[in-house]
Amino acid sequence: MSGPKYVTGYMPRWVSRLQTVTHPTTTISLQNKKSTTVAYIDFSRAFDTVSHVKLFARLYSYGIRGDVLQWIQNFLANRTHQTRVGWSLSAVIDLLSGVVQGSGLGPVLFLIFIDDLAEILEKYGIITKFFADDVKLYLEITSAHDCILLQKALDVVETRARDWQLQLSIEKCNVLHIGSCLDNCRYHIGQSAIQSTAQCKDLGIVIANDLSPQQHINEITAKAHRRANCILRCFISRENDLLVRAFVTYVRPILEYNSIVWSPSLIRDIEQVEKVQRRFTKRLFGMRCLSYDERLQRLGLLRLELRRLHLDLIFCYKIVFGLVSVNFNDFFEYSFSTTTRGHAYKLFKPRCTSGVRQTFFTERVVNPWNSLPPTVSFCARQHYAIARICYRGIARPSVCPSVTRVDQSKTIEVRIMQFHHQVAP
């Protein structure tokens, strides 16, 4: 089974950010003044419509036979369904399709059921990504022939869904043109046209046709402000420790979810995200007259910008040392220069001519990663190594000076040099 190569949902060592970040060729296309068309396909009630007979045939073709196959058949057999409305119950009926949601085996069976679709689409040169019942098709558009290939791929998806008794939710399907729009084709699934949009939500991240994170930042900061205000209104206790714990639990995850994908580079966007924490800490008891950095020091918090840098370095570490199921060569290449000091895992940074490419994860993390001092120990145990990366290679929060306003063209790796590179004892 080719599972992890194509499917990123419910698989070991795969996380949701990989589904969005594992297409660096999109930013390369923008740098080369080309465009990429992304088709978002959604299956309707996918887990409930998996045919048991066809699922067992698929399992048999993958070599799952004998007692294991019999056990799975017994697991799905003799299941019934009954609907309750008020105090009334419907008649009991047998379930002839669907995998058990909420179980560990159910999602895996669904992934096996749809796995061969990506292998078929690969023959058309289509990059395919799955996450549960969501499918994304990527194709760089250079000519009208590429538009025809993408339409053929959509026809394959529609045909396979019909043959395997899966339903497509056409109203939730859309097409996003990234970059200079060379693609004016109208795509369709069956007889229904797919809507073309300037932005769409991809696993909780708003992806715009120019890959700008501004719209996503506007949405998450507005939501975070509302939730922070709700905490201050609803909690009777005014204890700072309790309120900070509520902020860290309910607000900060909104501002950090998949930040590897959308991490801002403009001062305007950075300050907009930071303002949520800045405003919340100022409204705590005894904090109004203190500066932002003094408040953070007393409350034991880090700047959100510095936390995003930590997340970048941690994810880079996982890719370099193979802790996530992605191909290292799709993201980085090692620097073979032997004339510089530092650790032994330095990465090569290619020349970028596009702002979007320059601020993409694979480019912006190279300088901070290469700047880690040789005192950082890349040990085999992940938790120890990550802790040393964050707290020995980068400064502690207590010595973090305020981030001054600099030219907007400077990116985060330039500003982190303001932090003292103190080695923890």
9, 107 contact by CB (below 8 A): yes
Tell me the three state secondary structure of residue 196: strand
Closest CA to 301 of 232, 223, 396: 396
Q: In 3D, which of 100, 175, 102, 169 has the Cα closest to residue 133?
A: 169
- Entry pTM: 0.80
Per-residue pLDDT of the chain (425 residues; tens, 9 = 90+): 444 445 555 555 555 555 555 456 677 777 777 888 899 998 888 888 888 888 999 899 888 899 999 999 898 888 888 888 988 888 888 888 888 877 778 878 888 888 888 888 888 888 888 877 788 888 888 888 888 899 999 999 999 888 888 888 888 899 998 877 666 788 999 888 998 888 888 888 998 888 889 999 999 999 999 999 999 999 999 999 999 999 999 999 999 999 999 999 999 999 999 999 999 999 999 999 999 999 999 999 999 999 999 999 989 988 888 888 788 888 899 988 766 677 888 999 888 888 888 888 989 999 999 888 877 767 645 544 554 555 444 443 333 333 333 332 333 333 333 333 332 33
Write down the pLDDT at residue 264: 94
What is the rounded CA–CA span in Å between residue 140 and residue 23? 11
- To which H or E segment does residue 275 belong? helix 267-282
Q: Which of 179, 180, 161 is nearest to 170 (CA)?
A: 161
C-alpha to C-alpha distance for 202 and 131, rounded to whole angstroms: 10
Considering only the C-alpha atoms of the chain, give the largest distance between any 2 of them, rounded to a whole number of Å: 78
Question: Helix or strand or coil: residue 131?
Answer: strand
Q: Are strands 195-197 and 174-178 parallel, antiparallel or unpaired?
A: parallel
Q: Under a CB-based contact definition with an 8 Å cutoff, are residues 176 and 194 in contact?
A: no
Helices (H) and strands (E) in the chain, counts: 19, 14
The Cα 265–Cα 408 span in angstroms is 8
